[in-house]
């Protein structure tokens, strides 16, 4: 497998994308995903601190691979209709018929 090609591994109840980069393995566990459609839902909390920069890089790497990443904030959770609409739009764009 090429050094920069990701693969899926099971970690408990999660599936994580893993990249090998500069000799290190870098996991990317998603909060919620539809791997067959390349759709990820990620909650971005306010207390991420140092994690923030890594989160940005992880999301950008997923997008570069063709994933749709829906980022959810506490504000969006207060508007479940908008959240469901975003997820439905992403699913439909990938062929889901509901």
Question: pLDDT value at position 26?
Answer: 56
Short-list 28, 25, 31, CA closest to 62: 28
Q: Is 98 contained in some domain?
A: no
Question: pLDDT value at position 17?
Answer: 59
Q: Evaluate if residue 78 carries a pLDDT over 70.
A: yes
Q: What pLDDT, in 10s, does the model give residues 48-75?
A: 667 777 788 888 888 988 889 999 999 9
Under a CB-based contact definition with an 8 Å cutoff, are residues 54 and 27 in contact? no
For the chain, give the mean pLDDT: 77
Residue 93 corresponds to which tokens in the numbers above? 């764009």
Say which residues have a Cβ less than 8 Å from residue 87's Cβ, sequence separation at least 6. 39, 41, 70
Q: Evaluate if residue 98 carries a pLDDT over 90.
A: no
Q: Is 1 contained in some domain?
A: no
- List the helix and strand counts (H, then E) for the chain: 3, 6
Q: Is 11 contained in some domain?
A: yes
Q: What is the largest CA-CA distance in the chain?
A: 43
Q: Is 78 contained in some domain?
A: yes
Q: Is 27 contained in some domain?
A: yes
- Domains of the chain: total: 1
Question: pLDDT value at position 55?
Answer: 82
Q: Is 46 contained in some domain?
A: yes
87 or 33, higher pLDDT: 87
Domain extent for 21: 7-93
Short-list 58, 59, 68, CA closest to 96: 68
Q: Evaluate if residue 80 carries a pLDDT over 80.
A: yes
Q: Is 2 contained in some domain?
A: no
């Amino acid at each position: 497998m090429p050094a920069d090609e990701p693969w899926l591994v099971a970690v408990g109840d999660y599936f994580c994308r893993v990249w090998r980069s500069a000799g290190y393995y870098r996991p990317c566990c998603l909060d919620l995903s539809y791997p067959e459609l390349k759709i990820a839902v990620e909650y971005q909390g306010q207390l991420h601190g140092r994690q923030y920069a890594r989160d940005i890089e992880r999301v950008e790497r997923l997008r570069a691979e063709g994933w749709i990443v829906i980022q959810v904030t506490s504000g969006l959770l207060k508007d479940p209709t908008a959240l469901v609409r975003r997820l439905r739009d992403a699913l439909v764009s990938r062929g889901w018929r509901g």
